[in-house]
Chain A
Amino acid sequence: MGLSMVPTPPTRHEAEALAGRLPPLLVEAERIAATVIQGVHGRRRIGTGDSFWQFRAYTAGDPVTRIDWRQTGKSGRPYIRENEWEAAQSVWLWHDRSPSMDWHSSRRLPLKSERAALLLLALSALLIRGGERVALLGEGDRPGHGPAVLERLALRLAQPHKRKPGEQDGLPISIELPAHAGLVLISDFLTPLDELRRIVMGFAGRRVRGHLLQVLDPAEETLPYDGRVRFDGLEHEPSTLVSRVESIRGQYLDKLAAQREGLAALARLYGWSFATHRTDHPPHAALLALFGMMSGAPQRGRPQQGWV
């Protein structure tokens, strides 16, 4: 009786509620990651790692320590043992948590933010399985690896977003990242391109390899409204009254295409990749492509598009 009177600390409540929300997202992310990983394997490149890759004849200049004496003893010629390149990369992940992402045009579609979080987590799961270190951008964590990191990420994602000082809505915070780090930005990228360009420039200056994934609702791609419509923004933008939506649909689509083209050009400029994804499409394709972009050779000058 006395026990039931003891108030439970509210933080524990929150944590439990968070944990309760966590598994579905995690499970879903793991599921998607599992379907994707079947097609992805190893680095297939020579590098530092534990796994044997190949024996190679000794050439002058190779360090003596790398001679595989057993192989050399068997054959009489000095052989170098090469391991697979397994250098763990640090990947920073970010997805747009601005109010404009918390939107869907139909109840049957997921929120853009939900889809973005799902993709982010699934990608994290894939990366962690691949031995990479992952961290959320701007959360102050060090990149970690191992299954525990995934749960930590999921917990972070489930917590309500707190805006950091200097952070703009819809844009990642510009912080110092180690050189050659990977960066994945998932957003609807509907903000003005100039601000994004500034941030991308900042990252690119540190030779960070970035990947942009634009997640859009189908309604944003097609503007399927008719007649007299008043559009209200989600981020305190001024509302606009359109007397006949059908008359401006063409202009809107042009403007959206221009925005995309600008994004693609931006990515191209800095050797980043850019892809788009619609929430009414299954997430696997986007994840596979994203993972492919990250693990594959950087495809300079050719932004990937059309595999949404």
Chain B
Amino acid sequence: MLSLGGFAFASPWLLAGFVIVPALWWLLRVTPPAPTIVRFPAIRLLLGLVPPEETPARTPLWLILLRMLLAALLILALAHPIVNPTAALPGGGPLLLVVDDGWAAATDWPARQRVMTELIDRAEREGRQVVLLPTAPNGAVDPLSLVRPADARGQAQALRPKPWPTDRAVALKRLDSVDLHGGASVYWLSDGLDDKGGAQALGEKLRGIGAVHFLAPPAVQTARLVALGPDTARDLTVTVKRAAQGEAPPVRLRASGEDGRMLAQAEGRFPEDRGSVDVAFKMPTELRNRVARIDIEGETTAGSTLLIDEESRRRPVGIASDRPTGSAQPLLSDTYYVERAVEPFAELRRGAAGELIKRGLSLLVLPDGDAGSGDERNALKKWIDAGGVMVRFAGPLMAEAQKDDLLPVTLRHGGRTIGGAMSWEKPAHLAPFPAESPFAGLEVPSDVTVARQVLAEPSVDLGAKTWMRLSDGTPLVTAEKRGKGWLVLIHTSANTAWSNLPLSGLFVDMLRRLVQLGQGQAGAAEGVLPPWQIMDGFGRLAAPPPTAQPAAGSALAKLPVGPSHPPGFYGTEESHRALNLSGSVTGLAPITDLPAGLSREGYVKAPELDLRPGLLGAALLLALIDLVIGYGLRGLLHVERRVGVAILLGIALASAQAMAADAPNTSGADPADRYTIEATRDLRLAYVRTGDAEADSVSRAGLQGLGTVLARRTAVETGDPMEVDVENDELIFFPLIYWPVTNAQKPLSPQAVERVNRYLATGGTILFDARDEGQATGGANDAADRLSQLLAGVKIPPLVQIPPDHVLTKSFYLMQDFPGRWDGSVLWVEPAEDRVNDGVSTVIYGANDWAAAWAVDGQGFPSYAVVPGGEAQREQAFRFGINLVMYALTGNYKADQVHVPAILERLGQ
């Protein structure tokens, strides 16, 4: 291999082929191009002609250059040039690959894996064996072994970063299990993070084996770690740690819920001289409680993900609902208003007070009533001491209760009624909040009144315990700090019986303040928690691996993360605790003091690029071009320029067509499209194909004749009538459809019924023609019966005999009879009061065989005699047709009363 910096030839001796290029030049120069052969009758005139100047025909210079370029490309390609050739492995013996596959390696794992594969490829080329040593523990310490490169490749490809830290001391021990005394090429693919001196020891050991290549990412690209920050009480705060120092781009964090939806973003900037930064998420409580994990944007490691469990969330609000609620009706219920007030910003839990406090709660609301039995009271007291906040509401039960030690103040028996029927007083208003009250700053609405309350016995500390007063000074909310928690009493009821306070916005704000007051207390230790969802090395949650073991709930926070306890959620879906990597990794430090003699490298390296296929392809392309040029010069391409352009265009179009093959075909070749275009190009009258060829031809001829008369007498110009197949064709394009009833028709399919219904609903009109002169016999062949069978399912409105003032009688001609080929049958229409479709009857039914009366033959002569006869009857038939088309097209405007006088006047003549 001949190497020239980042460029090398695998077979450089083939470059000697360039010697022939000058020879090629000479050869091509002296060889004239093959002549064009032309048969020519006037050759006698050509014979003996001597050209004035004797310049021998030469191959054009550009063609010579093209061919030489082709030859040069071929020679170059055969020499097999390679850009960025990878050098051979240094040293001898097997290849020892030490791979840091701890959590920090996940930042650029594909690069590491590529380097591994490349190294193994090179070992394979040189026939050397491979030892692969991952430094992160994986549960079992199995001895290392020399393996063939192909097997090592499989191992390397199966290797994944672990969600726990590396343990290089263990790796050091494993190294003893393989015999490498003959020396080896050592590559250490490190993650750049020191683990309390383990890196130095490993470095020493490796240096003893052979030349060590130490690969590490740049300091600014080493993995970062997210830990739960201090002071999570107010805002959710996390600490981001890094190994390097100095200036760095801001770190962006993302908080997401259990469903993966992003809830908040925060940004922090590392101070230049520090390795950690605290970032706070500003978000409403209701969002905060839904945060399940926090990630560093753009990083996917187990360390860049922080799992949030209930421990670090705000506790929900519990409402003791196991007691009588006062009423079965919700608006009178004791808890209804509290629930409605708390719901928007806190998670609500209902249940017995004793049960509620076993799980985490920030606030326990006890509506009116007893605090429970002795055991319950004790549990509640303990809970409050440990940091719980209990809010009690007064009520009739409390007012009558004897003695209650779960109250911040001593209550006077019986309570107080202000402004009752027996009192002159008015219901009391609220006083402004004292400055030291947690409610301070809330606005006091003037319309809140309290009609009844329980009264505190006066005592020395009553003033200090009072958070809220009525305008006359009596305490309305009192509170007492017990242990770490609070016991709060609202001296009026939680429903509207005693006060309209629960109806006010102030009530919501007060409860919000109270919820913020409570930090609550975690539930009791849940015992042994099985792994529920475990993080992999890339920070993705998945089902737990078999090596993960259950952990004691109490000890979970202090558990070292490792193969048996990978980070993730432990517990059940309903109640789980998070184990984070940040608990086990205290600080991050870069690997600095490695022993001398290790060559440091980075991971990023341009990949080897083989130029041979490209060069060969180019040479082939040039050869093809040369072939075409050669043919062209010899005149064998009898392609005129126009034809050539057409061919090129054709090729371009064909490729464009191929590209656009998926696009919908708009050329109209589709029969449905053709039908649509045909149906909409002109205004067309349509008739239904009955399957009876004679009836169909009569229909066609009839509509043809009607169209001619229409064009002659009115402004309506119709195209040729169209035949529609109700089963297949869309009807919606036609204003009027003529539907003769024959014996041959079969009942409509559901699709056709649906289509006809849609047509009728969207303004279409169908003229059904029974063609039997109205001679209903009642037998099986009765047209009306057939029609009802035929149209089973079609929504035909009830029909009435046409009234004398119907629009059909005056839409163009004034007429009262509607004869066709026959005369005498009654015309049935939809009653006019149905004002859908502009009052136009969707269905018109008759039996006079109008199409036969309208039908004309090729010369325009009527095809059928009308019965009883006379051209007057045919004229009336045509007039009916015109009226009908006008009716279908113009709707009911002729029904307008405006025209009545003029019509009456004409009738009078």
Which residues on the B side are within 8 Å of A247 (C-beta)? 51-53
Q: In the complex, which residue of chain A has the Cβ closest to the Cβ of B36?
A: A229
> Cβ of A307 < 8 Å from any Cβ of B?
no
Q: A101-B41, A188-B41, A190-B42 are in contact. Are A225 and B49 (CB under 8 A)?
A: no
Give CA–CA (A231, B49) in the complex, Å.
Answer: 12
Binary contact readout B44-79 vs A (1 if CB under 8 angstroms, 0 otherwise): 111101111101110000000000000000000000
B598 to chain A, nearest CB (A): 71
Which residues on the A side are within 8 Å of B35 (C-beta)? 227-230, 241
Complex interface residues of chain B between 1 and 54 (CB less than 8 A to chain A): 32-47, 49-53
Which residues on the A side are within 8 Å of B36 (C-beta)? 225, 227-230
Binary contact readout A245-275 vs B (1 if CB under 8 angstroms, 0 otherwise): 0011001100110010000000000000000
Which residues on the A side are within 8 Å of B800 (C-beta)? none
**Inter-subunit contact B45/A259 (CB<8 Å):** yes
Q: In the complex, which residue of chain B has the Cβ closest to the Cβ of A233?
A: B43
> Cβ of B111 < 8 Å from any Cβ of A?
no
Q: In the complex, which residue of chain B has the Cβ closest to the Cβ of A235?
A: B41
Which residues on the B side are within 8 Å of A103 (C-beta)? 39, 41
> Cβ of B525 < 8 Å from any Cβ of A?
no
> Cβ of B627 < 8 Å from any Cβ of A?
no
**Inter-subunit contact A231/B38 (CB<8 Å):** yes
A201 to chain B, nearest CB (A): 21
> Cβ of A27 < 8 Å from any Cβ of B?
no
Q: A228-B57, A251-B49 are in contact. Are A240 and B39 (CB under 8 A)?
A: no
A135 to chain B, nearest CB (A): 27
B506 to chain A, nearest CB (A): 99
Which residues on the A side are within 8 Å of B56 (C-beta)? 243
**Inter-subunit contact B44/A190 (CB<8 Å):** yes
> Cβ of B677 < 8 Å from any Cβ of A?
no
Give CA–CA (A298, B635) in the complex, Å.
Answer: 47
Give CA–CA (A228, B40) in the complex, Å.
Answer: 14
Give CA–CA (A241, B43) in the complex, Å.
Answer: 11
A225 to chain B, nearest CB (A): 6
Contact of A225 among B33, B38, B47, B51 (CB under 8 A): B38
Give CA–CA (A233, B43) in the complex, Å.
Answer: 6
Which residues on the A side are within 8 Å of B46 (C-beta)? 231, 240, 242, 248, 252
> Cβ of B633 < 8 Å from any Cβ of A?
yes
A287 to chain B, nearest CB (A): 23
Which residues on the A side are within 8 Å of B42 (C-beta)? 188, 190, 216, 220, 252, 256
Give CA–CA (A243, B47) in the complex, Å.
Answer: 13
Give CA–CA (A232, B42) in the complex, Å.
Answer: 10
**Inter-subunit contact B39/A233 (CB<8 Å):** yes
B165 to chain A, nearest CB (A): 80
Which residues on the A side are within 8 Å of B633 (C-beta)? 227
Which residues on the A side are within 8 Å of B52 (C-beta)? 247
**Inter-subunit contact B43/A240 (CB<8 Å):** yes
**Inter-subunit contact B41/A220 (CB<8 Å):** yes
Complex interface residues of chain A between 103 and 141 (CB less than 8 A to chain B): 103, 112
Binary contact readout B600-644 vs A (1 if CB under 8 angstroms, 0 otherwise): 000000000000000000000000000000000101000000000
> Cβ of A244 < 8 Å from any Cβ of B?
yes
Complex interface residues of chain A between 169 and 227 (CB less than 8 A to chain B): 188, 190-192, 216-217, 219-220, 225, 227
Which residues on the A side are within 8 Å of B51 (C-beta)? 242-244, 247-248, 251
Give CA–CA (A238, B47) in the complex, Å.
Answer: 9
Q: In the complex, which residue of chain B has the Cβ closest to the Cβ of A220?
A: B42
Contact of A255 among B33, B37, B49 (CB under 8 A): B49
**Inter-subunit contact B40/A231 (CB<8 Å):** yes
Contact of B47 among A220, A232, A237, A244 (CB under 8 A): A237
Which residues on the B side are within 8 Å of A243 (C-beta)? 32, 51, 55-57
Q: In the complex, which residue of chain A has the Cβ closest to the Cβ of B41?
A: A100
Q: Is the interface of B mostly helix, strand, loop or mixed?
A: loop
B167 to chain A, nearest CB (A): 82
> Cβ of A234 < 8 Å from any Cβ of B?
yes
Q: A243-B51, A247-B52, A247-B53 are in contact. Are A190 and B45 (CB under 8 A)?
A: yes
A193 to chain B, nearest CB (A): 11
**Inter-subunit contact B55/A244 (CB<8 Å):** yes
Q: In the complex, which residue of chain A has the Cβ closest to the Cβ of B633?
A: A227
B43 to chain A, nearest CB (A): 4
Which residues on the A side are within 8 Å of B34 (C-beta)? 228
Binary contact readout A88-109 vs B (1 if CB under 8 angstroms, 0 otherwise): 0000000000001101000000
Give CA–CA (A248, B35) in the complex, Å.
Answer: 16
**Inter-subunit contact B45/A232 (CB<8 Å):** no
Which residues on the B side are within 8 Å of A229 (C-beta)? 35-38, 635
Complex interface residues of chain B between 384 and 425 (CB less than 8 A to chain A): none
Complex interface residues of chain A between 39 and 57 (CB less than 8 A to chain B): none
Which residues on the B side are within 8 Å of A238 (C-beta)? 47
Give CA–CA (A238, B49) in the complex, Å.
Answer: 14
Which residues on the B side are within 8 Å of A216 (C-beta)? 42
Q: In the complex, which residue of chain B has the Cβ closest to the Cβ of A232?
A: B39
Q: In the complex, which residue of chain B has the Cβ closest to the Cβ of A250?
A: B52
Binary contact readout B650-669 vs A (1 if CB under 8 angstroms, 0 otherwise): 00000000000000000000
Give CA–CA (A103, B42) in the complex, Å.
Answer: 11
Give CA–CA (A100, B40) in the complex, Å.
Answer: 8
**Inter-subunit contact B49/A248 (CB<8 Å):** yes
**Which of A239, A241, A248 counts the most chain B CB atoms within 10 A?**
A239
Give CA–CA (A216, B41) in the complex, Å.
Answer: 10
A151 to chain B, nearest CB (A): 30
Which residues on the B side are within 8 Å of A225 (C-beta)? 36, 38
Contact of B41 among A192, A230, A234, A259 (CB under 8 A): A234
B687 to chain A, nearest CB (A): 47
Give CA–CA (A188, B46) in the complex, Å.
Answer: 15
Contact of B49 among A190, A217, A252 (CB under 8 A): A252
**Which of B50, B53, B57 counts the most chain A CB atoms within 10 A?**
B57
**Inter-subunit contact B43/A231 (CB<8 Å):** yes
Which residues on the A side are within 8 Å of B40 (C-beta)? 219-220, 231-234
**Inter-subunit contact B44/A227 (CB<8 Å):** no
Give CA–CA (A238, B36) in the complex, Å.
Answer: 16
B505 to chain A, nearest CB (A): 94
**Inter-subunit contact A190/B32 (CB<8 Å):** no
Q: In the complex, which residue of chain B has the Cβ closest to the Cβ of A230?
A: B35
Contact of B38 among A190, A230, A252, A255 (CB under 8 A): A230
**Inter-subunit contact B41/A228 (CB<8 Å):** no
Which residues on the A side are within 8 Å of B47 (C-beta)? 237-238, 240
Which residues on the A side are within 8 Å of B33 (C-beta)? 227-228
Which residues on the A side are within 8 Å of B49 (C-beta)? 242, 248, 251-252, 255
Give CA–CA (A62, B47) in the complex, Å.
Answer: 63
Give CA–CA (A234, B57) in the complex, Å.
Answer: 25
A208 to chain B, nearest CB (A): 27
Give CA–CA (A240, B40) in the complex, Å.
Answer: 10
Give CA–CA (A255, B39) in the complex, Å.
Answer: 19
Give CA–CA (A101, B53) in the complex, Å.
Answer: 32
Q: In the complex, which residue of chain B has the Cβ closest to the Cβ of A255?
A: B45
Which residues on the B side are within 8 Å of A244 (C-beta)? 51, 55, 57
Which residues on the B side are within 8 Å of A255 (C-beta)? 45, 49
**Inter-subunit contact B39/A234 (CB<8 Å):** yes
Q: A233-B39, A233-B40 are in contact. Are A252 and B57 (CB under 8 A)?
A: no
Give CA–CA (A100, B38) in the complex, Å.
Answer: 13
Give CA–CA (A101, B42) in the complex, Å.
Answer: 10
Q: B: which residues have CB within 8 A of A?
A: 32-47, 49-53, 55-57, 633, 635
23 A-B interface contacts by CB (under 8 A): A112-B41, A190-B44, A191-B44, A216-B42, A229-B37, A229-B38, A230-B35, A230-B38, A231-B40, A231-B46, A234-B39, A234-B40, A237-B47, A240-B46, A240-B47, A242-B49, A242-B51, A244-B55, A244-B57, A248-B46, A248-B51, A251-B49, A251-B51
Additional pairs, 16, CB under 8 Å, beyond known A227-B633, A242-B49: A188-B42, A225-B36, A227-B36, A228-B35, A229-B36, A229-B37, A232-B39, A233-B40, A233-B44, A241-B35, A243-B57, A247-B53, A248-B46, A252-B42, A256-B42, A259-B45
6 cross-chain pairs, A with B, having the tightest CB-CB distances, nearest first: A100-B41, A247-B51, A228-B57, A233-B43, A228-B35, A243-B57
